[in-house]
Amino acid sequence: MLGKAALAVLLVLAGLAAGTRPPPPPVSEETLEKVAGSLEMYVDRLPQMPKVRGYSMERGRATPVHLAVGMYRKKWVMKFVIEPAKTRDHSRVPARLLEYHAKVAEEEATRKRYIVMYEYDDGATGGPTHLYINGKRLEDPATETPRVGATEVWEVVNLTPDDHPLHLHLATFQAVRARGLVGLDEFRRCMARLNDAARCNVSQHAAGDAVGVPEHERTWKNVGKMAPGHVTTAVVKFLMVDTGEDYPFDATAEPGYVYHCHILDHEDNAMIRPLKLIR
Ligand SMILES: *[C@@H]1O[C@H](CO)[C@@H](O)[C@H](O)[C@H]1NC(C)=O
Ligand SMILES: [Cu+2]
């Protein structure tokens, strides 16, 4: 579905693409992935969206294109044509926004987990083939089995060359810091061999400059950007952060939940793992 972040990105890009004078600035795939909270493909749905116009972004130039089903391999952006509303909008901005009761207390964490992002390449072409979290497939048994109500610290180690917006179902988290990995190649080689951050001396490698968490990320979220070559420390809460209470349903029920990269292409290429809550 059209996530808010994706919509915002598309609107920004549409804004860039819409101005024909002066020519729109180039938008690279890298930029897209950096700014997006999620990237999704909507082509199959387009025939039902009459006011959407396509712009291909080949060679960094926005050129109008005729949208058709099956264009999923092309890079393009959408322009939303807003027409005067024919219905009345009764929605209102609330006088007060939601207050979060849960504190960002790293020291309250009962458990620390390493969440390691790997990218695998095709030996012949060097092109990426799939992305695993902790070297495991979705089908492998859950290894993240937090207790309901727990606070945990997740050290997200991004060994891939790309940003990944990590998305947790059910849980809410805040990144508190990110540090660059020094001796990244050596660490990557060790991780490829042992798949064990502690045995590969992650704390010695996570010694690069601390990167400030941007203001807009310093709140309870369910998606957070994980920078390449960095270890991002996130405080994760398995409860309702607005009330500080337990979930109003049985969060331990089958089939459980998942966490994954919010870029659909990555998620579809196995960057997704089960998340199983226990009592
Ligand atoms: C981790 O660090 C210890 C102590 O500095 C060292 O003896 C060990 O060889 C290191 N392990 C790896 C896999 O580099
Ligand atoms: Cu990703």
Q: For ligand 1, atom 6, which residue shows the shortest CA distance?
A: 201
Calculate how far, in angstroms, residue 112's C-alpha sits from the geometric centre of ligand 1.
21
At 82, is the secondary structure helix, strand, or coil? coil
* Total count of residues recorded for the chain: 279
Within this chain, do residues 43 and 175 fall inside the same structural domain, yes or no? no
pTM of the model as a whole = 0.73
Calculate how far, in angstroms, residue 199's C-alpha sits from the geometric centre of ligand 1.
8
Within this chain, do residues 167 and 240 fall inside the same structural domain, yes or no? yes
Residue located via tokens 């979930």: 247
Phi and psi at residue 173, in whole multiples of 5°?
A: -145, 165
Residue 197 Cβ < 6 Å to ligand 1? no
At 278, is the secondary structure helix, strand, or coil? strand
Within this chain, do residues 118 and 74 fall inside the same structural domain, yes or no? no
Separation between Cα atoms, residue 251 and residue 159, nearest integer Å? 31
Instruction: Evaluate whether residue 57 is within a structural domain.
Output: yes
Domain count within the chain: 2
**Among the three residues 62, 80, 98, which one is the final residue of a domain in this structure?**
80
Q: For ligand 1, atom 11, which residue shows the shortest CA distance?
A: 200
Note residues around ion ligand 2 (Cβ under 5 angstroms).
164, 261, 263, 266
Residue 190 Cβ < 6 Å to ligand 1? yes
Instruction: Evaluate whether residue 87 is within a structural domain.
Output: no
Extract long-range pairs of 222-225: CB within 8 Å, 24+ residues apart.
222/167, 222/168, 222/169, 222/171, 222/172, 222/173, 223/5, 223/37, 223/38, 223/165, 223/166, 223/167, 223/262, 224/165, 224/166, 224/173, 224/174, 224/175, 225/34, 225/37, 225/163, 225/164, 225/165, 225/166
Calculate how far, in angstroms, residue 141's C-alpha sits from the geometric centre of ligand 1.
30
Instruction: Evaluate whether residue 169 is within a structural domain.
Output: yes
Q: Give the mutation target among 199, 201, 202 for probing the ligand 1 site: most ligand atoms within 8 A of CB.
A: 201
Within this chain, do residues 48 and 124 fall inside the same structural domain, yes or no? no
Within this chain, do residues 45 and 171 fall inside the same structural domain, yes or no? no
Maximum CA extent, the chain: 63
Instruction: Evaluate whether residue 95 is within a structural domain.
Output: no
Could you identify the atom of ligand 1 that is nearest to the CA of residue 200?
Answer: 13
Instruction: Evaluate whether residue 132 is within a structural domain.
Output: yes
Within this chain, do residues 193 and 68 fall inside the same structural domain, yes or no? no
Instruction: Evaluate whether residue 99 is within a structural domain.
Output: no
Mention every residue, 6+ apart, whose C-beta is less than 8 A from residue 234: 153, 154, 155, 156, 173, 174, 175, 176, 224
Within this chain, do residues 112 and 54 fall inside the same structural domain, yes or no? no
State how beta strands 151-158 and 111-121 pair: parallel
So what's the pLDDT on residue 80? 61
Within this chain, do residues 42 and 151 fall inside the same structural domain, yes or no? no
Point out the residues of the chain with pLDDT beneath 70: 1-60, 65-85
Q: Is 238:152 a contact under the CB 8 Å cutoff? A: yes
**Among the three residues 64, 80, 96, which one is the final residue of a domain in this structure?**
80
Domain span at residue 55 reads 4-80
- Say whether the peptide bond before residue 255 is cis (omega within 30 degrees of 0): yes
Within this chain, do residues 226 and 177 fall inside the same structural domain, yes or no? yes
Within this chain, do residues 125 and 257 fall inside the same structural domain, yes or no? yes
Cα 18 → chain centroid: 27
Instruction: Evaluate whether residue 93 is within a structural domain.
Output: no
So what's the pLDDT on residue 93? 85
At 110, is the secondary structure helix, strand, or coil? coil
Within this chain, do residues 171 and 241 fall inside the same structural domain, yes or no? yes
Q: Which of 161, 143, 147 is nearest to 197 (CA)?
A: 143
Q: Is 222:275 a contact under the CB 8 Å cutoff? A: no
- CB burial of 154-165 (b: ≥16 within 10 Å; e: otherwise) equals bbbbbbbebbbb
Instruction: Evaluate whether residue 92 is within a structural domain.
Output: no
So what's the pLDDT on residue 11? 40
**Among the three residues 23, 46, 80, which one is the final residue of a domain in this structure?**
80
Ligand lying nearest the CA atom of residue 191: 1
Q: What is the CATH number of the domain that holds 202?
A: 2.60.40.420
Q: For ligand 1, atom 3, which residue shows the shortest CA distance?
A: 201
Q: For ligand 1, atom 1, which residue shows the shortest CA distance?
A: 201
Within this chain, do residues 232 and 156 fall inside the same structural domain, yes or no? yes
Q: How far is CA 41 from CA 27, 129, 257, in A?
A: 17, 19, 23
Separation between Cα atoms, residue 61 and residue 63, nearest integer Å? 6
So what's the pLDDT on residue 97? 84
Phi and psi at residue 242, in whole multiples of 5°?
A: -75, -30
Could you identify the atom of ligand 1 that is nearest to the CA of residue 186?
Answer: 14
